[in-house]
């Protein structure tokens, strides 16, 4: 796999941007008006719990109703996820709180990463179960159109995707070090062409990466070529890779270009 110095990083960035754009398009597609859906009121949806005499087995996620009859063993009365049936319990998909207080649709205080978990669940239901309609309430109005709360949820997912994209770019630029700890010898950090799960054509040297609000951690830093954030049209560089990045620090007592660094207790 080509390294991500200079041109490679920009290629990786372009791929990540394209992926985020595709996901944003999918989100917009889920919310957009459709002519072939039914509107439910919560009291009506509550009848779809898979009990004898019930008209079906449905659940809702972010206001979207799915027929989960094909997964009956998971959602029917007495099953582990029976609490999701006949209601929108979006919050519980993230929190794992299956009490009556937790089986609710309020996701307003969830974090970006939690909203991405919810988006993954939405992808799962879109792929595996039939979409039946929308629930009038928190996420859809009586006209079947998205409410401001659904727009906010979508915005949180989009921001979460952007945060993931940034983390991916940073991991490609600064892959995590291999590490081991011994009660006798302390910590040892080292770099390889696979460290951090990032395949590349360079090894790098261990450095501490400092970020606001986060404990410093060891990353592998490329030592040759242009900085990763250098624009392709600017060919001048010092052939030091990313060693001069301001958020990096050397480990005391370690040779600057050593690929292995030991930190005694």
> 140: domain CATH number?
3.10.120.10
Instruction: Say yes or no: 159 and 200 in one domain.
Output: no
Considering the chain, what percentage of its residues have pLDDT values greater than 70?
86
Instruction: Say yes or no: 150 and 246 in one domain.
Output: no
Within a 13 Å sphere around the CA of 187, how many CA atoms are in the beta-carbon half? 14
Number of Cβ within 10 Å of residue 97's Cβ equals 14
Query: Which residues form the domain of 237?
Result: 174-263
CB within 8 Å of 85: residues ≥ 6 apart: 48, 49, 50, 57, 58, 59, 68, 75, 76, 77
pTM above 0.75, yes or no: no
Bridge pairing between strands 248-249 and 260-263: unpaired
CB within 8 Å of 23: residues ≥ 6 apart: 119, 161
Instruction: Say yes or no: 145 and 247 in one domain.
Output: no
Instruction: Say yes or no: 130 and 210 in one domain.
Output: no
Instruction: Say yes or no: 134 and 214 in one domain.
Output: no
Inside any domain, residue 212: yes
Instruction: Say yes or no: 55 and 159 in one domain.
Output: yes
Q: What is the DSSP letter of 257?
A: T
What does the pLDDT look like over 57-68, one tens digit per residue? 999 999 999 999
Could you tell me if 95 and 157 are in contact, meaning their C-beta atoms sit under 8 angstroms apart? no
Instruction: Say yes or no: 71 and 139 in one domain.
Output: yes
Could you give the number of structural domains in the chain? 2
What does the pLDDT look like over 113-154, one tens digit per residue? 899 999 999 999 999 999 999 999 999 999 999 999 999 999
Between helices 7-31 and 148-173, what is the axis angle to 10°? Answer: 160
Could you tell me if 218 and 208 are in contact, meaning their C-beta atoms sit under 8 angstroms apart? yes
Instruction: Say yes or no: 154 and 178 in one domain.
Output: no
Of 166, 185, 219, the one marking the end of a domain is 166
Inside any domain, residue 8: no
Q: DSSP characters for 53-86?
A: T-S-BEEEETTEEEE-GGGHHHHSTTSTTGGGTT
């Amino acid at each position: 796999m080509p390294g991500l110095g200079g041109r490679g990083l920009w290629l990786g960035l372009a791929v990540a941007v394209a992926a985020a754009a595709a996901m944003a398009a999918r989100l917009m597609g889920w919310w957009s008006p459709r002519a072939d859906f039914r509107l439910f009121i919560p009291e009506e949806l509550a009848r779809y719990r898979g009990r004898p005499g019930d008209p079906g087995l449905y659940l809702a996620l972010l206001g979207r109703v799915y027929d989960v009859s094909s997964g009956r063993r998971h959602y029917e009365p007495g099953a582990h996820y029976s609490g999701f049936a006949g209601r929108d319990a979006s919050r519980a998909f993230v929190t794992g709180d299956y009490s009556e207080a937790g089986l609710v649709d309020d996701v307003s205080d969830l974090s970006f990463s939690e909203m991405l978990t919810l988006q993954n669940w939405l992808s799962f239901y879109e792929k595996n179960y039939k979409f039946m309609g929308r629930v009038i309430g928190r996420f859809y109005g009586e006209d079947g159109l998205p409410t401001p709360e659904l727009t906010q949820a979508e915005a949180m997912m989009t921001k979460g995707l952007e945060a993931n994209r940034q983390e991916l770019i940073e991991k490609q630029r600064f892959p995590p070090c291999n590490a081991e700890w011994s009660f006798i010898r302390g910590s040892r950090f080292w770099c390889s062409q696979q460290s951090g799960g990032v395949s590349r054509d360079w090894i790098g040297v261990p450095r501490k990466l400092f970020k606001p609000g986060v404990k410093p951690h060891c990353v592998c830093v490329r030592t040759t070529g242009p900085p990763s954030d250098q624009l392709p049209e600017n060919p001048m560089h010092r052939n030091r890779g990313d060693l001069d990045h301001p958020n990096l620090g050397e480990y005391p007592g370690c040779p600057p270009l050593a690929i292995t660094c030991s930190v005694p207790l």
